[in-house]
Structure 1
Amino acid sequence: MTQFTDFNFKLLVIERLMYDDGTLTPRFDLGAHLVEQGLIEYGGDPAYTYTVKNALEYQVVPAARDHFEALEISPGLLATVEELLLDGGHQVYAHCSPVWDGEDDLYDVRSLDDLPLLPNLKRIRGADDFWPPEFLEVLQERGIATED
């Protein structure tokens, strides 16, 4: 089983594989998951309702965190990742924090220790704008492009 050390880095990979490429299935939907778990009744936007009702607006909803932390991604699937994008509008973030507005560091990557899990990664778009110089140095050393 592949273990990620940085949850937020894993979310970037999940965004690419599950929501962009459609190769990591089944596609997770927080609202449907909450209804299936009996945590909220269907109607309106169950993920938003659950988040507000439980004062979870600016954090990862525990049910989503549990799901994504336990989600296994095979080395073969990880090897297909050639590009990642840094963007506060990712679908995976909407399924983790339906009320999140992108105005804090909730989804900032804090470690690049997981880079070896992506042997064919060639580019991280947006890194020049959002990541610190020490991260950019690591990417440059590994031959990973950062320009758009």
Structure 2
Amino acid sequence: MTQFADFSFKLLVIERLMYDDRTLTPAFDVRAHLLAQGLIEDDGDPAYAYTKKMGLSYQVLPVVRDYFDALEISPELLSSVEELMLDGGNRVYYHCSPVWDGEDDLYDVRSLDDLPLLPNLKWIRGADDFWPAELVDVLRERGIATGDW
């Protein structure tokens, strides 16, 4: 099983493979997952309501973190990743935290120890704008582009 050292980095990879490329299937849906776990009933916007009711606003829902922590991504899929994008509007963030506004560091990548898992990574869009210089320097040393689109 491929292990990621940084959960937020793994989420960037999941965004790419699950929601952009649609090669990591099935696509995770927080509402369906909460329904399947028996944590909500099917009415209105239950993922948002559940999050608020449980006092879990602005954090990753524990049942969702467990799901993504356990999610295996094959080496073949990992090798297909050539680009990642830093964007507070990534769909994976909504599914992890239905009540999150992108105004804090909840999904900040803190380690690039997972870079060897992506042997064909060529570009991380937005890294120049959102990551500290020491992380951007590591990317540039490895020949990974960091500019905007």
Place the TM-score, normalised by the shorter chain, in its bin: over 0.9
Distance 1:45 1:67 in 2: 21
> For each residue in 1:20-47, what CA deviation from the matched residue of structure 2 results, as whole angstroms up to 9, or x when unmatched?
0100001000111101110111111121
1:57 aligned partner:
57
Distance 2:5 2:56 in 1: 24
User: Over aligned residue pairs, what C-alpha RMSD do you find?
Assistant: 0.5
Q: SS state of the match for residue 22, structure 1?
A: coil
2:48 aligned partner:
48
2:87 aligned partner:
87
Distance 1:57 1:146 in 2: 31
1:112 aligned partner:
112
Q: CA deviation at 1:56?
A: 0.4
Distance 1:46 1:15 in 2: 22
1:140 aligned partner:
140
Q: TM-score, normalised by structure 2?
A: 0.98
Q: SS state of the match for residue 81, structure 1?
A: coil
1:78 aligned partner:
78
Runs of 4 or more above 3 Å deviation: none
- 2:101 maps to 1:101: yes
Distance 2:32 2:48 in 1: 12
> For each residue in 1:88-126, what CA deviation from the matched residue of structure 2 results, as whole angstroms up to 9, or x when unmatched?
000000000001001100000000000000000000000
